[in-house]
Amino acid sequence: MVEATGMDLADGRLQTPCLLLDEGRLRANVARMRAHLDRLGVALRPHLKTAKSLDVARIALADPAGPATVSTLREAEYFAAGGVRDILYAVGIAPAKLPRVLAIRAGGADLAVVLDSLEQARAVAEAARAAGDPLPALIEVDADGHRSGVSPDDADTLVALGRCLAEGGAALRGVLLHAGDSYALSEPGALIAAAQAERDAGVRAAGILREAGLPCPVVSVGSTPTARFARDLSGITEMRAGVFMFGDLFQAGVGSVAQEDIAVSVLATVIGHQRAKGWIVTDAGWMALSRDRGTARQRVDQGYGVACDLAGTPYPDLIVADANQEHGIVALRRGSGAALPDLPVGARLRILPNHACATGAQHDRYHVLGGDGRVRAVWPRINGW
């Protein structure tokens, strides 16, 4: 792939498909979230699982040392090597990963882990004792039945986990919640309630630990929807959110990011037509867009993405109606009365993705758009574990 910068998006040296990142929108999305959380008096611990890029992290983090959230130990290693010091690995720890966690900590990063079972707490405490390193762990608390975590009403388990950690040689750093069911919502009232419920469950769980004489310095909540719709975060010390930086059609469907603020898109080239069917065939199939069809369950099904011109303006009713591995089939929404734009072979378009985390993972770099619509930089990103 040609890596020269300064090209406009029609320049053939820019090979397609590729992932574009609008730096201005990224910066605006970060500033908006930071201002919102500043008003609520809560620190932002950006989740770097969407971007997986040090260049993006430098924009998303208020301080280059963190705090930050990651979803894999590969991310933890990469961001620690890049200077991030305060890292939370927000996926339940597998005991076999503890040697890697301890190695990252020995390198100077304050990496914390998450757990919700006694088996994990015992393994963490044992590893901490053996290493002579009071490995910090947060207890995952289940905000809404979405996934993992101890019920905030299960005081016995919360206290047992806390004691196992604090008395076993590890450090009890606090509680962590993720209101993942908020992704299924789209009414502001319900989203505000989900954010409030996440906050309330966190405060309740922290209270149980503190009443038992255990430390709970951190009460960590977050998801992009609950971050966006939180009205009261009293008792919460930090908010984790990641996809808000880029936005995507799914988050636009939820209402947590406006479609016009979406900062990532996939640049595609027209490679053919089936004119009788109204199909424009491009070189951006699901390999470039991801298999994510999250908007299929929303009010507006965006297919595999919304087709835009090179300036980023959506064509009326034009979506990626279907996708094969390296072919995208761009067509008008069913029932649309709009005219199919004239996009001959070789013409280019930009596709707004359903899910920035999934689309990003299909790529190993960002082509960064400056305010003049030209590629001003190429930023690498990582994948894998």
**Binding mask 70-89 vs its own copies (x if CB under 8 A, - otherwise)?**
-xxxx---------------
Taking the least distance from each CB to its own copies, the nearer of 26 and 289 is: 289
Q: Is 46 in the site for its own copies (CB under 8 A)?
A: no
For residue 121, give Cα distances in angstroms to 162, 167, 172, 306: 8, 11, 10, 45
Which of 173, 228, 293, 350 binds its own copies (CB under 8 A)? It is 293
Q: Is 385 in the site for its own copies (CB under 8 A)?
A: yes
**248 closest CA partner among 95, 107, 356, 327:** 356
Q: Which range of residues in 167-175, 226-234, 244-252, 265-273 is near its own copies by CB under 8 A?
A: 265-273
Which of 9, 292, 306, 368 binds its own copies (CB under 8 A)? It is 292
Q: Is 64 in the site for its own copies (CB under 8 A)?
A: no
Taking the least distance from each CB to its own copies, the nearer of 18 and 230 is: 18
Taking the least distance from each CB to its own copies, the nearer of 65 and 91 is: 91
Q: Is 224 in the site for its own copies (CB under 8 A)?
A: no
Taking the least distance from each CB to its own copies, the nearer of 183 and 315 is: 183
Taking the least distance from each CB to its own copies, the nearer of 27 and 273 is: 273
Taking the least distance from each CB to its own copies, the nearer of 93 and 351 is: 93
For residue 287, give Cα distances in angstroms to 13, 331, 360: 21, 19, 11
Taking the least distance from each CB to its own copies, the nearer of 258 and 345 is: 345
Which of 53, 290, 295, 302 binds its own copies (CB under 8 A)? It is 290
Report the site for its own copies in 15-44 (rule: CB under 8 A).
15-18
CB 109 within 8 A of CB 76: yes
**Binding mask 315-354 vs its own copies (x if CB under 8 A, - otherwise)?**
---------xxxx-x--------------xxx--------
Whether the CA torsion 107, 112, 117, 121 is positive or negative: it is positive
Which of 40, 91, 212, 378 binds its own copies (CB under 8 A)? It is 91
Residues that bind its own copies (CB under 8 A): 1, 12-13, 15-18, 49, 71-74, 91-97, 99-100, 115-117, 119-120, 123, 140, 142, 145, 147-148, 180, 269-274, 277, 281, 283, 286-288, 290-293, 324-327, 329, 344-346, 355, 357-358, 361-364, 383-385
